Structures are given as C-alpha cells and as structure tokens.
Amino acid sequence: MSFDLVFFGGTGDLTWRKLMPALFQAFRHGKLPAGGRILAVARDDQSDDKYRAWLKERFQDVEGHKRPSDEEFARFAEMVNYRRMDLSKPEHYAGLKQWLDERGADTVVLYLATSPHLFPQICEQLGAMGLNGPHIRVVLEKPLGHDLASAQEINRVVRSVFSETHAFRIDHYLGKASVQNLMALRFGNALFEPLWRRESIANIQITLAESLGVGTRGDFYDRTGALRDMIQNHALQLLTMVAMEPPSRNDADAIRDEKLKVLRSLRPFTEESVQRDVVRGQYRKGTADGKPVPGYLDEVKVPPGSHCETFVALRTEVQNWRWAGVPFYLRTGKRLAARDAQIVVNFRPTPHNIFPGTNQPNKLVIKLQPEDGLELHLLAAKGTSQQDTLAPVFLDLDFDKAFAENRVGGYERLLLEAIAGRLNLFVRSDEQEQAWRWVEPILDAWSRDDHASGGPRPYAAGTWGPAAASALVARDGFAWSEEQ
C-alpha cells in the first residue's frame, strides 16, 4: 500500500521530538508499509537535503538505543521530503495538492502538528482545495480546543470538510502498550471481569505524575494548566478504559460508544463539589534529583502572580450499577516526587480475617511509565508456622521483557493505525466534547474563586503535591498508593 504522510508543523518540537523518531522506529522494525513518502511542511525556506540534515542533527537528542546509525538514517531519509508552506495562502495548498496528485498514493494522512487555533483554517483550506477525498485522513493533535465552545467550533469545521470516519483525534496515552493490555486484561481473560465492579473494588486511582517543571514552555503552559493539559484528555480516557462495559465487538464505534457512556455517567460538578472534591496546586521552589529547582512563578515566560495550576487531584464517581459508590481519584502534576503514570485498582478487604495482624487488601497496578507492565499485589504465608502473619507478595509482569522483540511505542502505534485507517485508538468528537462538558464547571468555579481564595495551593517541588490531596483521599478512609 502506497501512502503519503504530511506533517503540518514539520519543524515544530512535536514533529522532531516524537513523530519523526516514532516513524523511524516503525521503519527500523519493518512495520512501515512499503511505498511511503513523508512530507514535512513549514514556513522555513529550505530544500529536501537541508531539512534532512537538520532532522539528522535533531535525531542526536533521541535516547541512545533509538538513535539511527548513519546508514539507517540515510535509508530512512530517502522517504523524507520538505515543502515550504504559508498556511494562510490558498496557492500553497494548491501546490501541495499538485505534489500529492502527481503520485496518487493509495492513502494520504494529513497530520496537524500545529497550534490547535490553526486547525479550522487548515481544514477549510484543505476542503476548498479538494484535499478531503475518500483516501485522505486528517489527524488532529491535542489540545483540541481550550474549552467546550472552542472544541465544538473545531469539530464543526472538521466535520464540514471530513467525515467522522476520516478524522483521527489523537491521544498518545491510548497508544501505550499497557493501555492496550488493559483491554486484553479485562475482555480477553475471564479472571478479572467478575471482580471488576463495586462489590469487589474499593477505589481506583489514576496518577499521571511528572518530575519535570514547565521548562521553556511557560507561556504555553500558563494558558493551559494541568486540568486542560492532562485531566480533560489523558486521565479521562484512561478512566473510560477502566470503567467501560464490555463492547459487543472489537471495533472503533463499539468501543467508543461504551467510553462515551462512562463520560456521561460521571457525577457532574457543582460549585460546592468543586470546593470539596477538587484540589489544585502550584509548585514552589524545591529539589529534584538532589538539585535545587525554581518554583513555577520563577520559570521562564511565566507571568508574575499567575494562578495557573500545575497540579490537580479530584474525586469523582461513575453513576451506574457497576460502579455506584466507588470513588475514582485522578491526579496529575508537574515537579512531583517521581515520573510515574499508573492506574491502581484497590480491592476490598476480605470480609472476615482469620489470620493474625492487619492485612493489606489486594491491588492491581497497571504501570504506564516509566515501566510498562502489571503488578498484582497479594498476601501469602511464609510457611514457618500456622500462626504466621501474612506477608505481602506481588506478581510482576514487565511487558518490555515478556515481549522484548520490536516493542512498539505509543506514537509509533498510532501513526501506523492512522495509515491503516483503524479508528479504535482515536477519540470521537462526542467523547471529546463530553469530556470538556464535564471539566468546564471546574474551570468556571476556579475563575470565580481566584480572588477569594488566592488561587492554587502551593507545594514544594519534589513532593507529591499539596497536603489537601492526601486529605481528599483520606476523607474516604483511603490513601494514595505511595502512602499505603
């Protein structure tokens, strides 16, 4: 199958840090279909060779084992082309159409790796030029809007040009192998599904923690914040994967129908419940890896006195028969104690304890990063005496070791799925809008509350966030996983 993959924003950070390295890994693993061309478009005036040299230099920043040799890069670079485009000029889209039509590839994938405010303009120009045929797909990178109204406007314009089956809204967490194995764990095995409900599960925790600060992205981050950057998309998508009902079949619409039902079942926020069930914080100076680091307000390009949140923890419930009464805790933040993304399913204690001592309930840990795998925490007898207290043990499945050959990264998997036209791992417009609809009351309450409360709670860099986040979970008699 021949394909053309076009990156709008071809010199941007996302393209050279994530997308091009992911494509190279697919090429190295022999998974990239033959007969492909990659086209980077941007405003810079440069040739194919100059762009390839620029890209090769950027590849030196890729982690060592993923870095291409000179010979590998030379073969990969034969696929890479460059075209100068001003995205506001119709004649430049005409030139792009001519370039694509000359070869007539079986599939054309247009990846919008630009600022989302450009999505409507780009899509309208693509439609006007006829670059929306049945063999053409558009990939939309997050963030998809700044609020519900902007998301709906982007979707309106996208739908006016592309059908829903040709619009691929990307969330790179859905490409992670561990998230795919969450589906396999639940719906490919009989072991857990009978337990996957309120009678057996006490609470579920989703943590997306970063040890880094905002770095040089202070201006972008201050317009976004942790709620928009991580909760509205990544964390809610993970929640839907955990809480969804078994789909009738393994296809895109069946899966996304069930995810949408979860989003519609989330307990809506009121001004009162935002005050009670949501904690926002902002990091101050502290230490990371034993070195002093600045606070958020001291970072480059962050406005003085900013009330932007760099941490969010919240409690919610899925109001249906399976999950009634089970709290879901979501947490994300910058400059936390560790880089750690995981889902923790805490089971209820045994109804009657016949062993001495206080026994910790079982839990299942789905590790997303930096490790990729599953841990099942159990209790076992040491076997030295009948009066022994039980000892904690765990079964540890490391996917990188279990499936060591040619492991596929998140962006690599999603790019290959987009080229193949499979929508299972992408977000439908009604899902995305419902997620915005759910978080908007939090944003509205914060905008009204900033002056009254003084904004986000401070926390020291290198910690797990404000103390109020621990109190949020302790109120129900539980604790975050690192505190257990």
**Is residue 234 annotated as a catalytic residue, yes or no?**
yes
Backbone angles phi, psi at 4, to 5 degrees: -120, 125
d(CA 154, CA 429): 10
**Total Cβ atoms within 10 A of residue 46:** 16
Q: What single string gives the DSSP state of each residue in 14-51?
A: HIIIIIHHHHHHHHHTT-SPSSEEEEEEESS---HHHH
Pair of tokens at residue 334: 């910058």
Q: State the Cα–Cα distance between residues 52 and 79, nearest whole angstrom.
A: 10
Residues with Cβ within 8 Å of 375's Cβ and at least 6 positions away in sequence, in order, are 364, 365, 367, 394, 395, 396, 397
List the structure tokens of 203: 């609470």
Residue 426, SS3 per DSSP? coil
- CA separation for the pair 401, 116 (Å, rounded): 38
| Peptide bond connecting 143 to the previous residue in cis, omega within 30 degrees of 0 | yes
Q: For residues 362 and 379, what is the distance between their CA atoms, to the nearest angstrom?
A: 7
For 57-190, list the strands marked E by DSSP. Answer: 80-84, 107-112, 136-140, 167-169
Q: Of the candidates 288, 377, 269, 327, which has an alpha carbon nearest to the alpha carbon of residue 479? A: 327
Query: Are the C-beta atoms of 225 and 308 separated by less than 8 Å?
Result: yes
Catalytic position from the list 234, 307, 377, 451: 234
- Amino acid (one-letter) located at 290: G
Q: Given the structure tokens 């933040």, which residue do they identify?
A: 333
Tell me how many degrees the CA angle 176-179-182 measures, rounded to the nearest 5. Answer: 155
Half-sphere exposure of 399 (CA within 13 A, CB side): 22
> Euclidean distance between the first and final Cα of the chain, in Å?
52
Tokens read off for 344: 């923790």
**CA–CA separation, 252 and 240 (whole Å):** 14
H or E, element range at 345: strand 340-347
The answer, yes or no, to whether the previous bond of 370 is cis (omega within 30 of 0) is yes
Q: Alpha carbon 391 to chain centroid distance?
A: 35
Residues carrying an active site annotation: 234
